[in-house]
Amino acid sequence: MSAVVIANWKMHGSGSALSAFANQWQALSDQPLPNVDVVLCPPGVYAQRAQQLLPQLALGAQDCAPEAEGAYTGDISAPMLADLGCSWVIVGHSERRQGHGETDALVAQKARAAANAGLTAVVCVGESLEQRQGGSQEQVVSAQLQGSLQGLAAGEFVVAYEPIWAIGTGHTATPEQANSMHEHIRQTLVQLLGSRGSDIALLYGGSVKPDNAGELFACPNIDGALVGGASLMADSFYAIAKAASESGRT
């Protein structure tokens, strides 16, 4: 499977920041990066402009509604995102689980809505610092997977393991910690989905930077990254995408 590297801009950026990013990306990427899917998830209001300025990147969204349409003020549906040209959508990011009270059941509905619209869902899971310190990280992540993947089939989603204590903190999980959790996630996916669970890309997220990306991608169970802060600058996101491209996945 190809590597996957996804930029999550969260609620950062502006029209001019997007133009500057696009100019810098063009200057860096004179040749396409082989064996890696590079995805940009800007704030939704900039999605169309991102697609015009950066047609060489796949377009993604940071969230979608669980319903396809209706009286849901402020929500954006998965079919609308597909209509806009998105092919990926992040669901269940810890900032939405924590800040918006999203449950595994809701994440599963959103992921189902995404798949129904032909989008690949990026289903995020990850434990808190307290849970890791208490040694329950594997049970926590298994339970999140079981709840958040209800009704999904292999081929409709990828998983992003994002330990909450590593997001935006500068404290990356060590390659050993990340790889070991990815191995656990792989086993859980095989239990849930049978042998097709082996084909699902597992991304790591949490303070990925150009200087740690190579060692993370060298781990056998890490197929890519979901990148927050370091994706806001074209040079650092490009360096991460290049490391993924050179990681030997095909």
Nearer to ligand PEP, 79 or 173 (CB): 173
Query: Can you give the length of the chain in residues?
Result: 250
Binding of ligand PEP by 167 (CB under 6 A):
yes
Binding of ligand PEP by 201 (CB under 6 A):
no
| Catalytic residue list contains 162 | yes
Give the range of 47-55, 145-153, 202-210, 236-244 binding ligand PEP by CB under 6 A: 202-210
**Residue 193 neighbours by CB distance under 10 Å:** 17
Binding of ligand PEP by 102 (CB under 6 A):
no
- 3-state SS assignment for residue 56: coil
**Inter-residue contact 128 to 165 (CB < 8 Å):** yes
Nearer to ligand PEP, 109 or 207 (CB): 207
| Catalytic residue list contains 93 | yes
Give the range of 26-34, 174-182, 188-196, 222-230 binding ligand PEP by CB under 6 A: 222-230
| Identified binder of ligand PEP from the candidate list 207, 212, 236, 245, rule CB under 6 A | 207
- 3-state SS assignment for residue 213: helix
# of chain residues touching ligand PEP (CB under 6 A) = 14
Set 95, 162, 182, 184: catalytic member: 162
**Inter-residue contact 247 to 33 (CB < 8 Å):** no
- 3-state SS assignment for residue 45: helix
Integer Cα distance of 86 and 118 in angstroms: 9
Integer Cα distance of 159 and 117 in angstroms: 18
Residue ranges in contact with ligand PEP by CB under 6 A: 8, 10, 162, 167-168, 205-208, 226-230
Catalytic residues: 93, 162
